Structure 1
């Protein structure tokens, strides 16, 4: 009984540390990208074109579904349009919003493809020359999702920058200072999430922000 309770506590603590580690990594990578925006843009462009070519090779060599492959290639073409004004992005722009929808659609469509593989009819399977289709292994599926579905959207999320007016307290705290006029999109999201957590704990009488109330 107690060991089960201890395991639940361990899961919660591990999850909290995992979230904090990811947030710290996003801040670090976002700072790195801000200092090297032009090389990052070139790398992302080549990465997107390379993945589009790999998807076509998977269709030709491994028999991946044509329409789903074409949909993914189109998705990466839309992702490529985000680099036109790199590293800046408007969160309300049609290209960015469509990109977000395509990320989710790609995930679920490819998940459905691997989760429900095509099985030929019985009369086809009974033929002496029938060769059963190859089912990708778990490692292959994970590699496909990590490299060809999630990697570029996550890289774009970390690399793109958003205007300071998305983070009002940041503008106020940096007024009159010679700072960058844009923040990394990942930093904006993490900072807003942190402020939301601070506001929730503040309502319960706990202050987690060490700089709260200080005049900068």
Structure 2
């Protein structure tokens, strides 16, 4: 009984550590992208064209379904449209919204393809029928990691929310009452990665929950003392 409780506790702790490690990695990658925007842009362009080439090779040499392969290539053509304004985006951009929908559809269709191992009815009693080779776990995982998830994941980490790169410049003006009024014009703020925005939002959310239970942010408290 105790060993089962330990296994449950270990599973929960492992999931927590894996989540924190993933969030830290995303944050670090987002920092690198902010610093090296142009090399990231070139890398994503080449990666998209490379994966389209991989789909063509899979169609020609591994007998992948041509209709599903054509749909995936169309999906990557849509991903390519997001690069026109890279790394700046608007979250209401129709191309971005279409890309998010296509990611889910593409994943579902390929998952269904690899999971379909049924023998067609007309070949059930055919002694000469050779069933389709079933891909191994490593092959399926590699395909999904490289050809399905890599570009959407890279775009999510690399893109910067448009609201954070609007032209702004704080300039003080005196109004008739002598009070300072702020007007905006001119200079651009530094772009902030979309992944960082999401992680910062989640972190602030957990901070607010912690405050409800009496926990305090030590860094903020030190800043107030200084």
TM-score band w.r.t. shorter chain: 0.7 to 0.9
The equivalent residue for 1:173 is none
The TM-score with structure 1 as length reference comes to 0.85
The equivalent residue for 1:210 is 219
Equivalent positions of 1:189-208 (< 5 A) are 189-208=198-217
Equivalent positions of 1:32-181 (< 5 A) are 32-117=32-117, 119-121=119-121, 123-124=122-123, 126-127=125-126, 129-163=128-162, 165=164, 180-181=189-190
- What secondary structure does 2:192 align onto? strand
Q: CA shift at 1:34, angstroms? A: 1.1
The equivalent residue for 1:188 is 197
The equivalent residue for 1:24 is 24
Aligned residues: 204
Q: Classify 1:61/1:209 alpha carbon distance in 2 versus 1 (closer, same or farther; 3 Å).
A: farther
Q: Classify 1:194/1:8 alpha carbon distance in 2 versus 1 (closer, same or farther; 3 Å).
A: same
Q: CA shift at 1:188, angstroms? A: 0.6
Tell me, yes or no, if the aligned pair for 2:164 and 2:189 is still in contact at 8 Å. Answer: no
Q: Classify 1:164/1:208 alpha carbon distance in 2 versus 1 (closer, same or farther; 3 Å).
A: farther
Q: Which runs of 5+ in 2 are unaligned?
A: 166-186
Q: Which moved more, 1:127-136 or 1:74-83?
A: 127-136
Tell me, yes or no, if the aligned pair for 2:48 and 2:76 is still in contact at 8 Å. Answer: yes
Q: Which moved more, 1:93-102 or 1:6-15?
A: 6-15
Q: Distance in 1 between matches of 2:10 and 2:125?
A: 52
Q: Which runs of 5+ in 1 are unaligned?
A: 167-177
* C-alpha distance after superposition, 1:122-159 (max 9, x if no partner): x4355465333211111111111011000111111111
Q: Classify 1:179/1:187 alpha carbon distance in 2 versus 1 (closer, same or farther; 3 Å).
A: farther
Q: Distance in 1 between matches of 2:101 and 2:191?
A: 24
The TM-score with structure 2 as length reference comes to 0.82
The equivalent residue for 2:173 is none
* C-alpha distance after superposition, 1:32-85 (max 9, x if no partner): 111111111111011101111111221122111121111111111111111100
